[in-house]
Amino acid sequence: MHLICLAACAVLVPAHAGTTAEPSAAMLHDRLTRLAASPGELPAAIRRGQTAAAVCRHCHGPGGNSALPDVPNLASQNADYLLEQMNKFVLGTRKSSDFMTGMIRALTPEERVDIALFLSRQPVAYAPAARGSDAGRALFGQLCAKCHGDAAAGSHRIPRLAGQQMKYLEDSLKRYRSGMGERLDPMMAAYTRNLEDTDILALAAHLAALRP
C-alpha cells in the first residue's frame, strides 16, 4: 500500500521544488497567524491549501482523513503543529522516508502555511468501530492530559490526539517507549517508559474514540 502511495504522489510533486529560499520558522508562523486572523485572506489561503495538499491525500486521505491505520489523520490537527512538523522535515530535524522528506521540501514555504490552514479546518472522520477504554481514560488523565489537554485537543505546538488512528497511536507510543526510531523525545520516552503493551492499547483505544 505504501508503494502505491509513493508512486501516486511522486507525479504530483510541484515543478518549483527547491527554487524558493527558506524563511525562518518564526516568519512562517507569523504568516500563518496573520492569515488565520484575516477574514479577507483566510478563504483564499484555505483554497490554495486544498490544492497544494493534493500531494498528501494519497496517504493521508482526502481532507486529511487517512484510510491507512498506521498513517495519521491530519484533519483538525492544530495548524501551528502541522506547520512546525513540515518545517522540521525541510530542515532535516524530523526524519522520515526519503519520499516524505522530498515531497515536503518540494513545497514552497507559502504552500506549507496554506496546507496547515486547510487541514486544520477539516473535520475528523471518526472510525465508527472505535470504542473507548476506561483504563485508557484513567492513564491519559494521569500521564498525558497536562500537555495534551483533558479533551486531547492539544495546543498550538502540541498535537491533537482525539480521533487519531488507533494503530498509528499504538506504534508511536511504542516507538517513544523504546527510545528508538525516527522520532526521539526525552519527555515522551520518560512518560511511556513504564507502560505495558496493554496500557498502550488502552490509551490508543481511548484516544481513537474521543470526540470533542
Q: Mean pLDDT per 10-residue run, the chain (212 residues)?
A: 41 46 93 98 99 93 94 97 95 79 93 99 82 93 97 95 96 92 84 97 95 75
Q: What is the pLDDT of residue 20?
A: 54
Q: Is residue 185 part of a domain?
A: yes
Give the orientation angle of helix 197-209 with respect to helix 166-178, to 10 degrees: 140
Please check whether residues 108 and 27 belong to one and the same domain.
yes
- pTM of this structure: 0.87
Residue 85 lies in a domain: yes
Structural domain boundaries enclosing 149: 134-209
- Within-domain flag for 1: no
Over the range 172-204, which residues count as b (16 or more CB within 10 Å of their CB) and which as e? Answer: bbbbbbeeeeeeeeeebeebbeebeeebbbbbb
Which of 88, 120, 152 is where one domain is finished? 120
Residue 5 lies in a domain: no
Position 163 in a domain: yes
State how many domains the chain has: 2
